[in-house]
Amino acid sequence: MSAGSAWSRFQKIRGLWVEAITDTICAELYAGGIDVITTGNHIWDRREIMAYIAGDPRLLRPVNFPQGTPGNGFGVYALRDGRSVLVVNAMARLFMDALDDPFASVERVLGMHPLGQVSAILVDFHGEASSEKTSMGHFCDGRVSAVLGTHCHVPTADHRVFAGGTAYMTDVGMCGDYDSVIGMQKVAAVARFVRKLPGERLEVSQGEPTICGVLVETDDETGLARAIWPLRLGGKLDPALPQAALPKVAAPAK
């Protein structure tokens, strides 16, 4: 999917957006070319997702929820060329919900599906503390293709490939309007801090969005990373479109 078509699809999806994932949003994302959806601490905000997630193997919830939680925290997905990718979704614990140990949970999954049995491994580590995220990166170094942090809504500038060959970035950033307070309309959000009183319900900011992400190039033989580049398109943030991707990715639609 080109950046232009992704841009158009994202603008349509924003009209449906709420804090939590829904089956309608999943359908829109899949229609736009998304292969797998990872989540985090807002996964259960819409209770109807509990029944839906069990029947959708492409929608993941953090793997370190207690045993018996609906849905899956990882999946192995087939590529068109016959190769396979393991995607693991885990959630940190510092300043977050007190879930099971994410390191032990990730270790268990990597033991079942190591590189070599799968062509590449992506770990989405959803968390608040950069120290915990960086620790997960080093914990997985040499054993996964990439550890990418989410949750903080802003892209960090520390993308790099660790010594063992694992690509890492503390936070990929959000896809949304950055003229906001982490994606929410800023007037009501600021008022909550100033007044220290409950205020009006926070609403998603509808300004021009930025698509944030990363591109990771992996070695076909080892599955480890050769390079990682940040990707930013549109909106208020400075654009970042890797030169290596220019022949493959079109400019955003106007």
Listed in sequence order, the residues at least 6 apart from 172 whose beta carbon sits closer than 8 Å to its beta carbon are 148, 149, 150, 155, 212, 213, 214, 230
CA distance 14 to 183: 11
Residue with tokens 């950069």: 130
H-assigned helices in 21-119 = 23-31, 49-53, 102-112
Amino acid at 202: L
CA distance 119 to 218: 9
- Identify whether the C-beta of residue 43 lies closer than 8 Å to the C-beta of residue 90: no
Phi and psi, residue 199, nearest 5° = -125, -160
Of 202, 235, 209, 212, nearest to 18 (Cα)? 202
Amino acid at 61: R
Task: Give me the active site residues, please.
Answer: 42
Of 123, 129, 174, 115, nearest to 148 (Cα)? 123
